[in-house]
Structures are given as C-alpha cells and as structure tokens.
Amino acid sequence: MNLLRTYILPRILQWALVIFVGISATFLIPRLSPINPVDEMIGRMTAFASIDPHAVVSMRESATALFGLEGTLLEQYGRFWARLFTGDLGVSFGNFPRPVSDIIGAGLPWTIGLLSIAILISWISGVFLGALAGYFHDRRWAQILERFVVVVYPIPYLIIAFVLIFVFAWWLKWFPLVGGSRGQPGLTWDYISTLLYFGFLPALSLVIGSTAFRFIMAKSLTTTEIASDYVQYAELAAVPKRKIILFYVARNTMLPQVTDLALSLGALFEGALITEVLFAYPGLGFVLYNAIYNADYNIIMGITLLSIAGIATASLLIDLLYPIFDPRVRLR
C-alpha cells in the first residue's frame, strides 16, 4: 500500500501531466502558425476554378467547424479535448474527408510490425554480442567483431539502405522494391510469408545500424563492469565464468539497456520515416511524410499525439519496472 502511494501513484500522475502538457502544446503550436488551414484549403479549391462567392462563404464556415477553428482559443481547446476523448482526431486535409484516425490506423500495424521486430532483434543481438565481446575483450574473435562494428556504425543510414536496395532489390532482384505485402490479407501462411518477404530488407536496414549502436554501448558498459571490485573479486574466488557473465556483469549493465529498449519501443509511433519512404513501405512514417508534404496538420498532430503518449507510457513502464532490475531503486 505504501509502495502504491509513494512510488506508483506519483509516477502515474507525472505520466498524465506529461501527456496533458504535450497534447496542449500540440494543440497550440499549429495555431500560432501564420498559415490558416481554412484559407489554404479554399485557396487550393479555388485555384483552378472560380466558385460562387456565397458557396465560398458557406464552405469557409463548414471547414472552420470541421477543423475545430470556431470561437475563441479557449473554446477551441475545450472542444479539442472533448473530441480527443471520443477518439476523433479530425479529418485529413489532404485526403479530405477521410478521418485522421482511419489513416493512422491503416499505417500503424505496418509500422508496429516492422519496428518492433527490428528493435527486438537488434537489442537482443547487440546486448548479447556486446557483453560477450566486452568480457572476452582479449580474444581474437571479439577484436575482429569490434572492428567490424566500428566500421559499420558510422555509415549513414541512408547509404546502408540504398546499398541494400541497390544490391538485393534492384541488382540481384532477391527482394521487392516497393510495398508491404502481396495478396489477400489474412492469417494464412501465403500472406504472412509475403509480409516477411517484403519486410525483410527494410528491417535489415534498421537492424544493422541499431545493432552496431547497442553493441558499442553494451561493450563499453561491460568494460566498466568487469573492472569493478565485485567482478574482480568473484574472478579471484574462481566463481564460474558463466555465472560471472550472467549475474555479475550482464545483470549490472541491464539498467541503461532496459531504458534504451523501452524508449525505442515508445518511439515506435513516430514511425521510421526514412526507411518507409525509401522502401515505399505503407507504415506511419510514410503517412507522416505525405502529411508534411501536403501540410496536412491534423495527421501530423495525430501522429505527434500518438508518439507523446507512446514515449510517456514507455517512461512510466520503465519507472515501474526499475525496482525489478535494480534492488537499489526498491523502496526500503
């Protein structure tokens, strides 16, 4: 009970506050912009054809209502929250009148599928290989592995992705150039295999860079850890190596690693913009790219809201899970 009151509850309040402030800022910032989206839309519609002025006036009214721009800022703010709670994020300007939630909902599963698998694979392999390479730092294989990673790590993501596309999709034609799947969606092996087939290259491009990053991080954490008194002492007492690596080294490097994993997963809702654009993958990043291109505020806002909620929730989860990973955080 005490734990709930002094540890869990404050963190949940903090989480709610972060989301509230973030969402309020998301509401406010576009309204400070000198561009009026209603004018923009009317301008786009009347650019190539003259329209009856009365029609323009009524169109302006309905568009203002639709975009939630009626009344004072405070009234708008109140309605904004009311709509948000019913899951209404407004309509897309670019794909008028398709609702934003619909568009985001269509992109979301692709992104979640692609990114969560890429993040998990790179986290597990990076942490695992980095810890081993850090512990056995004087072995030949560890040094070769590290040199390889140090060469790969600074290569810009764009170049890795382009090389993969060029070699495997365009030249060898092993993988498709564009798209996310083929055939009738469903829980059949045929469909799932095309998902894996289409997702392989984008995922690989993401995994390479982030595995290298996590490898370097895990290795340097391990290097610090093996110099610590308790690891040295356990070595001196001839505690088996397997035990030392698992319970003395890896366990102590876990805290920053778990934070990194949770934040990466929280940032998932931003989508992988460059990846999805390069591989023409139908995820959230691709949606965001098109929205920015078309000044589609509602979609940009919708995605921003999602990623605020995602990051805030991830940090909340880290806070709640910390005591499991580090007893020093535990309440005494």
Give the residues lining the site for other proteins (CB under 8 A).
228-230, 232-234, 236-240, 243, 247-248, 251-252, 325-328, 332
Cα-Cα-Cα-Cα torsion 296, 297, 300, 305, nearest 10 degrees, comes to -150
How far is the C-alpha of 267 from the C-alpha of 245, rounded, in Å? 30
Cα-Cα-Cα-Cα torsion 257, 263, 269, 275, nearest 10 degrees, comes to -50
Radius of gyration of the chain (CA): 25
How far is the C-alpha of 170 from the C-alpha of 162, rounded, in Å? 10
308 and 24 in contact (C-beta within 8 Å)?
Answer: no
Whose Cβ is closer to other proteins: residue 170's or residue 233's?
233
- Residue (of 67, 3, 42, 2) closest to 298 by Cα position: 67
Residue ranges of the alpha helices (H) in 33-69?
Answer: 37-46, 53-66
How far is the C-alpha of 258 from the C-alpha of 108, rounded, in Å? 24
Q: Which residues contact 11 (CB under 8 A, 6 or more apart)?
A: 316, 319, 320
- Residue (of 117, 126, 128, 132) closest to 153 by Cα position: 126
Determine which helix (DSSP H) or strand (DSSP E) holds 303, and give its type and residue range. Answer: helix 297-325
